[in-house]
């Protein structure tokens, strides 16, 4: 079972969220939190696989505590579910430890997909935001990477699959896999999480342009 803690300050929304998630046969919601403090307590007590958390709740600003949550609960992946559709919020959330960023007005299946991706250690970003971020300039990137490698890495960091990258860039999936292997070799990382961290730490995905 994939064990989940949900955190949102609206009881009716939490109830609907629980029903949505538990409609999946391998999902179990183990606790519901109403703010960041209670989310921290429930994650500490239940050790869930995934924390689904809203950005706008009473108490501590969730964006400010994401790095602490990521550091303290390294075995729990974080998926943000929010109304905040500005790319800057998504960029910061992913940079500070979230693996998923889903908009509340998106299709319900997006959240399920994001939770499953997080359990696999993969990122997921709402496609509308992903398209905006992936189109931003990557000029001046470190690491001696080619323009195509930079495009592939930024799209990987934003949650695109190899097949989706191939379709968007009009190249084959095998070519995407080759670029990914070269990226990992050049940057000295061993997996997708390392590429995501590198992309955000070096400002290769910029929502402000």
Mean pLDDT of the chain: 85
207 belongs to a structural domain? no
Give the per-residue pLDDT at 160: 86
Domain span at 64: 2-126
Give the per-residue pLDDT at 135: 56
Q: Model-level pTM greater than 0.85?
A: no
Same domain, 34 and 112: yes
Q: How many helices (H) and strands (E) does the chain have?
A: 10, 6
Same domain, 54 and 112: yes
Joined together, the tokens standing for residue 118 give 């997080």
Cα dihedral 180, 67, 45, 50 in deg (nearest 10) = -30
Residue 80 has pLDDT above 90, yes or no: yes
H/E stretch holding 155 reads: helix 147-157
Same domain, 120 and 90: yes
Same domain, 94 and 197: no
Same domain, 37 and 69: yes
181 belongs to a structural domain? yes
Q: Give mean pLDDT, residues 46-60.
A: 91
């Amino acid at each position: 079972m994939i064990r989940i803690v949900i955190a949102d300050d609206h009881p009716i929304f939490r109830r609907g969220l629980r029903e949505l998630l538990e409609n999946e046969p391998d999902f179990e919601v183990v606790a519901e939190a109403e703010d960041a403090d209670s989310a921290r307590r429930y994650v500490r007590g239940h050790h869930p696989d995934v924390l689904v958390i809203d950005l706008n709740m009473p108490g501590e600003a969730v964006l400010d505590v994401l790095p602490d949550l990521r550091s303290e609960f390294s075995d729990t992946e974080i998926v943000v579910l929010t109304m905040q559709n500005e790319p800057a919020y998504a960029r910061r959330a992913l940079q500070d430890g979230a693996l998923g960023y889903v908009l509340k007005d998106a299709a319900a299946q997006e959240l399920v997909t994001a939770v499953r991706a997080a359990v696999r250690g993969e990122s997921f970003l709402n496609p509308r935001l992903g398209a905006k971020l992936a189109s931003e300039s990557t000029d001046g990137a470190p690491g001696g990477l080619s323009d195509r490698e930079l495009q592939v890495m930024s799209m990987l960091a934003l949650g695109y699959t190899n097949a989706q990258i191939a379709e968007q860039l009009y190249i084959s999936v095998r070519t995407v896999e080759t670029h990914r292997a070269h990226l990992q070799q050049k940057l000295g990382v061993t997996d997708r999480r390392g590429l995501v961290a590198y992309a955000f730490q070096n400002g290769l995905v910029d929502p402000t342009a």
